[in-house]
């Protein structure tokens, strides 16, 4: 078979299936009554969304665009979880009327609920509220994901959450039925999830809430043997939740993103050139930092190398800098120290490359790379062809150079 033109992403179905099964099994074993949802923004590749839909996943969306995409791909409207601080009013109403899940996050959404309650006096609405609580009070060693602390949801400590609940409870046909606990953390530790579950219990008790669901959000590790996995997280979460909630009555929702698709996905690149500049070796590759780390936040790129030829006859290099395909100086990925000299044709394969990459690539210099799915029998399916100017020119207009009648 002709080798595939690099760079491209590869999704191994078997590994994806492994993590899907691990998630479902962990939820089933520890709680039983659960909804597995997938965070669409993490990787909204249509093939992937369809694959997860077929496995009964709900789509967790945070924009009208994501909602439309999920619906176009066949997710039932009631299998939508609509989150985020910027909601579209029509989508908000549609999801609620269809019996989907909406987790309120902003002040204007409370106004919308009052309006909906008046407009549809004969309908019953159930909504969730995103909780904002001070994680550093619950887990002293936790470093917040942002210096200022989380900015999403209604604040528990200053009474804003309580006030939101009071506004909803004044509406005869609206039920504050869920708590959404998603909180991004640096540590992704089991303790954090235990503390968040405990917080859900505290809030439910304090405000005498009868909950249809607790949504623990995403933020788990996945695909790494040196880190906790779903079994550890849900054991801890469910231990805390069971202090107050009953699985017969309250659904446990999980909405992972990166942990579900990391193990399965690689980004595969080739060495194009090796340059000697003064005392340095720069290895030029056809992939880029913009493909893997568009937010320029990462410093570590787990990878492995396929050497094109016999390495026993190659010399060792004290330092080789792996560089990307753009003409930006910052497009350098990592340094290889005291190791086999790379030559054109060698392949650098980045592991755990599925989250916040495939769909977050900028259209900078090169467009979106191809994505191939490797089925369990080894055959390949093209889930996305590499973009070229056909895609780039869509919906663009250039002025005609001469007017016919002038």
Ligand X SMILES: Cc1ncc(COP(=O)(O)O)c(C=O)c1O
* One residue of 128, 194, 218, 287 binding ligand X per CB under 6 A: 218
128 binds ligand X (CB under 6 A): no
Q: Where are the alpha helices (DSSP H) in 4-63?
A: 13-30, 46-54
φ/ψ of 164, rounded to 5, equals -65, -45
Minimum gap (Å) between residue 38 Cβ and ligand X: 9
Cis, peptide link before residue 375, omega less than 30° from 0? no
| Residue 327 is among the residues annotated as catalytic for this protein | yes
In sequence order, which residues have a C-beta less than 8 Å from that of residue 183 and are 6 or more positions away? 133, 135, 145, 150, 192, 196, 217, 219
105 binds ligand X (CB under 6 A): no
* One residue of 7, 150, 256, 354 binding ligand X per CB under 6 A: 256
Measured over the CA atoms of residue 243, residue 244, residue 249 and residue 252, the dihedral's sign is: negative
Query: What does the per-residue mask of binding to ligand X show for 28-47, with x meaning CB under 6 A?
Result: -----------x--x-----
What are the residues facing 282 on neighbouring strands? Answer: 275, 321
Query: 129 or 342, CB closer to ligand X?
Result: 129
153 binds ligand X (CB under 6 A): no
281 binds ligand X (CB under 6 A): no
Minimum gap (Å) between residue 151 Cβ and ligand X: 11
In sequence order, which residues have a C-beta less than 8 Å from that of residue 106 and are 6 or more positions away? 85, 86, 87
347 binds ligand X (CB under 6 A): no
Question: Which value, in Å, is the radius of gyration of the alpha carbons in the chain?
Answer: 24
Query: 105 or 286, CB closer to ligand X?
Result: 105
Query: 228 or 324, CB closer to ligand X?
Result: 228
Query: 262 or 290, CB closer to ligand X?
Result: 262
223 binds ligand X (CB under 6 A): no
Among candidates 115, 110, 108, 230, which has minimal Cα distance to 162?
110
354 binds ligand X (CB under 6 A): no
Kindly state the number of chain residues that form the binding site for ligand X, as judged by CB under 6 A.
16
What are the residues facing 283 on neighbouring strands? Answer: 274, 322
User: How many C-beta atoms surround the C-beta of residue 73 within 10 A?
Assistant: 17
DSSP for 356-400, written as a single string:
TSTTT---SSS-PPEEEEE-TTS-EEEEEPPP-HHHHTTT-----
Minimum gap (Å) between residue 132 Cβ and ligand X: 12
* Piece of the chain touching ligand X by CB under 6 A; list 254-262, 285-293, 315-323, 364-372: 254-262
Residues in touch with ligand X (CB under 6 A):
39, 42, 60, 83, 182, 184, 217-220, 255-259, 355
**Residues assigned a catalytic role:** 327
């Amino acid at each position: 078979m002709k080798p595939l033109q690099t760079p491209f992403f590869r999704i191994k179905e078997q590994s994806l299936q492994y993590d899907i099964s691990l998630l479902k099994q962990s939820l089933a074993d520890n709680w039983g009554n659960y909804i597995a949802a997938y965070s669409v923004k993490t990787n909204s590749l249509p093939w992937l969304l369809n694959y997860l839909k077929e496995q009964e996943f709900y789509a967790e969306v945070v924009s009208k665009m994501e909602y439309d995409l999920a619906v176009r791909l066949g997710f039932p409207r009631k299998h939508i979880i609509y989150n985020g601080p910027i909601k579209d009013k029509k989508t908000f109403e549609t999801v609620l009327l269809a019996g989907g899940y909406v987790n309120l996050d902003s002040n204007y959404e409370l106004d919308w609920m009052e309006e909906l309650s008046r407009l549809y006096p004969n309908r019953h609405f159930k909504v969730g509220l995103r909780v904002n609580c001070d994680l550093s009070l619950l887990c002293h060693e936790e470093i917040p994901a942002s210096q200022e602390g989380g900015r999403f949801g209604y604040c528990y400590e200053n009474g804003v959450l309580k006030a939101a609940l009071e506004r909803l409870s004044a509406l005869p046909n609206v039920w504050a039925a869920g708590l959404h606990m998603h909180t991004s953390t640096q540590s992704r530790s089991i303790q954090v999830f235990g503390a968040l579950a405990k917080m859900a219990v505290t809030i439910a008790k304090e405000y005498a809430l009868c909950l249809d669901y607790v949504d623990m959000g995403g933020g788990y590790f996945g695909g790494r043997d040196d880190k906790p996995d779903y079994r550890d997280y849900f054991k801890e979460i469910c231990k805390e939740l069971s202090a107050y909630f009953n699985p017969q009555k309250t659904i446990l929702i999980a909405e992972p993103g990166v942990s579900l698709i990391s193990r399965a996905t690689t980004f595969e690149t080739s060495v194009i050139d090796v340059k000697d500049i003064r005392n340095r070796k720069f290895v030029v590759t056809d992939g880029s930092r913009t493909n893997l780390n568009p937010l320029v936040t990462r410093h570590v790129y787990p990878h492995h190398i396929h050497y094109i030829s016999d390495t026993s006859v190659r010399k060792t290099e004290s330092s080789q800098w792996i560089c990307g395909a753009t003409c930006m100086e910052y497009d350098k990925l990592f340094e290889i120290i005291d190791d086999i000299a790379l030559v054109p044709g060698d392949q650098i394969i980045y592991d755990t490359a599925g989250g916040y990459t495939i769909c977050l690539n900028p259209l900078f210099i090169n467009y979106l790379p191809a994505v191939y799915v490797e089925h369990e029998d080894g055959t390949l399916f093209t889930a996305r062809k590499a973009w070229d100017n056909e895609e780039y020119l869509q919906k663009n207009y250039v002025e005609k150079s001469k007017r016919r009648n002038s």
